Chains A and B, each alone.
Chain A
Amino acid sequence: MIFKFKNARQETENQVTDESVYRQRRELLKKMGYFGAGSLLASSAANAGPLDWFSSDDEVIFKTKALTFSKQTDDTQKQTPVEKATSYNNFFEFGTGKSDPVKNAQEFNVDPWSLSIGGLVEKPITLGLDDLYSSFELEERIYRLRCVEAWSMVIPWIGFSLASLLKKVQPLSSAKYVAFETLYDPKQMPGQRNRFVGGGVDYPYVEGLRIDEAMHKLTMLSVGMYGNTLPPQNGAPVRLVVPWKYGFKSIKSIVKITLTDKMPPTTWNILAPNEYGFYANVNPAVDHPRWSQARERRITTGGLLAQNRIDTLPFNGYDDVARLYKGMNLKKFY
């Protein structure tokens, strides 16, 4: 007899794979080491996955919790499996390799957390960890995430509109921009302790949006993904998600939001102004100086032969935001 539950979650292939099975596979990978980088230096080359002979990933695992939220049911895009979205990350505070954050962030402590919202506002507030989950109605939003490195994922985030938070603090009319700042805690973040681990970035990581971008309904503060609270490698406990901009705009582990009248500095723009602008809107017509942005590799399931290379869409396909940039030369303001 087959029972079908009305609200049963659609099981994806990765959810069916028994955890012990993929752990075994990972063990095998680890034992093989990494001929390329591993033989000369313990590298954090873009992608050094299974090269870690000396540490094992099975002791401490950051505990996430299930969230209560309204599900998004009208999206049919093929999602990135949760274990890829949580093990292939750019979060230089935990190392520059894509698999560094999942390895180095598991002991990250988010309790207590304090997110302060201030600057040019009527009512500055500070949210603690629990407030992040309880102050606003949580909703799921399935967004495409396009990395400036020309790969992309489809991720079910959970969170709330940044606009709801901003309305609560009541921005002054003089507020033109919103500045964001990641936690600065070298004790917990090896990339902030050591320039070689952190890729030579000046920490804390900072980002910014124009106020109309921040108020747009698509812009969200995310506190969870795939049904649970965020794991640290994805920016626990609270991060920004701006789906029409390159991923580096979606700043992680935020402690401070400041409304200001000046365009705030942004980390990648400081590091390489000719490569990363303040706006960083996804735009297939404007190449990164060193690579093309016309197409992207969509990370879902399947091995080498199933890799999906697709056209990149202006504003990552979120056309509604085009009106925010009417009359602007997007080649100049990249």
Chain B
Amino acid sequence: MLLMSPRKPIRVPRYLFIACHLAVHLAPTIWLSVIFYLGLQDELGGDPVQYLLDFTGIGALNLLVASLSVSLLAQHFKFAQLMKLRRPIGLYSAFYAFAHFTVYIAFELQFEFNMLVSEIIKRPYITIGFVALLILGLLSITSLSWIKKSMGRKWFSLHKLSYLAVLLAGFHYLWLIKSGWYEPVIYLVIAGILLFMKREKLRKL
């Protein structure tokens, strides 16, 4: 890690923590709403559909990476409160992924459901993106407190699938671009680093 680990645990005042929590909820929702509104107004450049697809896709990936980094940061900085932000960040990642899928169905395919099925089957990059989406969906549902409680230790095993999701999403990105590779590869490298740092925990499946 680049920064020295502090000796004392970090604990921020309650009002500050509430503000952080609020920001985690408001930033992704407001941002997406504004982008969507600009799309309706034809203010997103030449192809608003492509813009929204990119925005939601990369947004989901960023949020997923962020949610997977939370525990490392919390541990490193002895900042236990951070852990409470992990669930909402993860859920917003899933929310963006579903927005991505919805934009694809509604605006890219314009509700041609036959096409949707055949594209998911025919195009490997869409197949793996869809699998990542299903994983995020499953993890979102099992994030409900009462389900989480009833699952016990199995919950932790199941939620390790988030690492599979970030890898699939990274390859989904790498596979769809026309040329060049460095942006998706940066995500894949970050995913690799996260996997490496959590290798001990991941082994105990």
Contacts and interface: CB of A to CB of B under 8 A. Distances in A.
A39 B58 CA distance: 10
Contacts of A84: 45-46
B12 to A, nearest CB: 22
Interface stretch (B18-26, B48-56, B161-169): B48-56
A88 B51 CA distance: 11
A299 B50 CA distance: 11
Contacts of B45: 47, 49-50, 84, 87-88, 98-99
A41 B173 CA distance: 15
Given A45-B54, A297-B47, A307-B48, A292 B115 contact: yes
B65 A40 contact: yes
Interface in B150-197: 175-183, 186
Interface residues on A, range: 35 or more
Given A43-B183, A309-B110, A151 B50 contact: yes
Interface string B52-73: 1111111100100100000000
Q: Is the interface of B mostly helix, strand, loop or mixed?
A: helix
Interface stretch (A29-37, A55-63, A208-216, A318-326): A29-37
Interface residues on B, range: 35 or more
Nearest to A305: B40
A188 interface: no
A274 B115 CA distance: 23
Q: Is the interface of A mostly helix, strand, loop or mixed?
A: loop
- Among A46, A87, A304, which residue has the most Cβ atoms of chain B within 10 A? A304
Interface stretch (A64-72, A165-173, A193-201, A234-242): A193-201
A98 B47 contact: yes
B47 A303 contact: no
A6 interface: no
A40 B58 CA distance: 9
B44 to A, nearest CB: 6
Nearest to B52: A304
Contacts of A4: none
A304 B59 contact: no
A290 B50 contact: no
Given A151-B50, A307-B107, A36 B55 contact: yes
Interface of B: 27-28, 31-32, 34-36, 38-59, 62, 65, 107-110, 115, 119, 123, 125, 175-183, 186
13 contacts: A25-B43, A29-B43, A35-B55, A36-B57, A36-B62, A44-B183, A45-B54, A47-B53, A49-B44, A88-B47, A303-B40, A303-B48, A307-B48
